Amino acid sequence: MADPIRVVFDIHLYVINIVGSDAQWPVVAEVPPESGNPSADSISIIFDNPGLFALYASPHILRNTVRVLKSCGLSDAFITEYLAAIEDVINESGGSVLDPGRVLDLGSRDFEDNHILALALAVDADIIVSDDTDLTQLSPWLGRPIIRPRDFVRRFVNAPRRQLAIREIGSRSTIQ
C-alpha cells in the first residue's frame, strides 16, 4: 500500500464540523458523505479511510478550536469530549498532534495562518484543507495545494475509483 496522504485541516473544519449547517456530531457521516456540511464530510473521509490519509494537528490548532467553541457557547464537557474524538480520528488515521516549533512568517498575511503552514511544513503535508481565503489564495504553497473542504470532498467522491481519488486528492502537481 502506498504511503498515506498527509493532511492538515485548518481550525475552521473542526469548528464548522459541529456548529455549521447540517452538523450532526457525534454522528460521523457515511462515505460517500452527503451531509451538506463539507467540514464534517472531510473529517468523515479521514475517519473512514485509515491508512489512506494521515491527519495532523498541532496544539495551537486544538487550543484555538477550543477557544472558538467556547465563544460559541458550548460547554466545557462537550468540548472536552469533542476534542478527545478529534484526537482519536487523528491517531487512528496514522497522523499525530505535534508542535512544529517556532512559527515564522511563512507567507500568510494572517499570522495565525502561519501556524497552519508551519505544521504543514513540519509534517511535509501533501495537502492543506481550509475555508480561509487568506490560506486558499496561497495555493499552491511550496507545491502543496490548499483547497476548500467542499473541493476535498468532491474530488474524493467524484473520482471513478476510490484509490485513484485518494492519489489525486493528495497530488501536489494536480491540485491548483
> Which has more pLDDT, 2 or 108?
2
CB atoms within 10 A of CB 26: 9
Contact (Cβ atoms closer than 8 angstroms) between residue 79 and residue 103 = no
Q: What is the per-residue pLDDT for 33?
A: 61
Query: What is the average per-residue pLDDT within 150-165?
Result: 69
pLDDT in tens, 26-85: 665 565 566 778 888 888 888 888 788 899 999 999 999 999 999 999 999 999 999 999
Give the whole-angstrom CA distance, residue 14 versus residue 132: 13
In this prediction, residue 176 carries a pLDDT of 37
- Closest C-alpha to 11, from 137, 144, 130, 151: 130
Threshold 0.95, pTM exceeds = no
Collapse the DSSP code of 115 into the 3-class scheme (helix H, G, I; strand E, B; otherwise coil) and give the result: helix
Q: Which is more confidently placed, 129 or 136?
A: 129
| Residue 175 pLDDT > 90 | no
